[in-house]
């Protein structure tokens, strides 16, 4: 009687809509929990990948920032360089050949040396400047020569000493051959009438170059 009653009770429960409702709710709950776990795992993986991508982009951005750093303010630096070049030309590039010859003569007198066989020539014209070469013999005491060299190097006009070679020494007097360079603007160099600088620059000045205008070789 008890077994039959228990069987009848289970049949009634299974047939009850409430039982199936609970069963369906349980299945749905399990599905929801499973989907939530899967979604959480996928979110974690996606978030980790996004962090890696973000870190990679930040590294690329930093690298680009370092590469472009030297170019920042380039236009300003170009303008400053142009201004400096313009000021250099105005202050240190001679205005004419005659100003070069006059200045060399002044330095000769102030230092006490004696220049001989003084020759001026001009190189090929450049886009901005033309090189003017000066080749001369210089005689004087050591202090006089050093004074001349120092004043040439520090002069307002831009001079570059190319070579100095000892050619003689007697009774405390020293003789040197000196080659200097300065520059003129191409139009001023062309107007100077100076002869071209020979390709072979090893010959003695008296053989290689004519005397500069207004300055006779000695």
Calculate the alpha carbon distances from 26 to 21, 34, 111 in Å. Answer: 9, 12, 113
The label of the residue with tokens 């170019």 reads 71
* Model pLDDT for residues 149-168, shown as the tens digit of each residue: 999 999 999 999 999 999 99
Calculate the alpha carbon distances from 184 to 95, 106, 118, 147, 149 in Å. Answer: 7, 19, 18, 25, 21
Residue ranges per structural domain of the chain: 2-66, 95-208
Supply the Cα-derived Rg of the chain in whole angstroms.
47
DSSP 50-104: HHHHHHHHHHHHHHHHHHHGGGTTHHHHHHHHHHHHHHHHHHHS-SSHHHHHHHH
Determine contact, residues 92/128, Cβ cutoff 8 Å: no
* Model pLDDT for residues 171-209, shown as the tens digit of each residue: 889 999 999 999 999 999 999 999 999 875 544 433 333
DSSP character for 196? B
CATH T-level topology, domain 95-208: Alpha-Beta Plaits (3.30.70)
- Greater confidence, 29 or 13? 29
- The whole-model pTM stands at 0.59
So what's the pLDDT on residue 185? Answer: 93
* Model pLDDT for residues 44-94, shown as the tens digit of each residue: 666 656 666 677 777 777 777 777 776 667 677 777 778 888 888 888 999
* Model pLDDT for residues 103-118, shown as the tens digit of each residue: 999 999 999 999 999 9
In whole angstroms, what separates CA 109 from the centre of its chain? 41
Given CA atoms 154, 155, 157, 160 in this order, what sign does their dihedral have?
negative
Which among 165, 99, 169, 158 is positioned nearest to 129, based on CA atoms? Answer: 158
């Amino acid at each position: 009687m008890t077994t039959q009653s228990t069987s009848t009770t289970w049949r009634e429960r299974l047939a009850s809509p409430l039982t199936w409702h609970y069963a369906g709710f349980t299945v749905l709950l399990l599905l929801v929990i499973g989907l939530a776990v899967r979604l959480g795992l996928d979110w974690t993986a996606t978030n980790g990948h996004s962090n890696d991508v973000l870190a990679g982009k930040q590294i690329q951005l930093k690298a680009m920032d370092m590469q472009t750093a030297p170019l920042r303010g380039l236009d300003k630096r170009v303008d400053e360089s142009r201004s400096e070049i313009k000021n250099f030309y105005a202050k240190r590039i001679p205005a004419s050949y005659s100003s070069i010859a006059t200045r060399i003569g002044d330095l000769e007198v102030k230092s006490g040396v004696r220049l001989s066989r003084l020759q001026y020539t001009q190189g090929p014209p450049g886009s901005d400047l033309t090189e003017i070469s000066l080749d001369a013999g210089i005689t004087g005491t050591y202090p006089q020569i050093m004074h001349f060299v120092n004043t040439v190097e520090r002069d307002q006009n831009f001079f570059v000493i190319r070579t100095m070679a000892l050619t003689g020494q007697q009774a405390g007097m020293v003789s040197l051959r000196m080659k200097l360079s300065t520059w003129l603007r191409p139009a001023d160099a062309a107007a100077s009438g100076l002869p071209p600088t020979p390709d072979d620059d090893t010959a003695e000045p008296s053989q290689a170059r004519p005397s500069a205008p207004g300055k006779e070789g000695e």
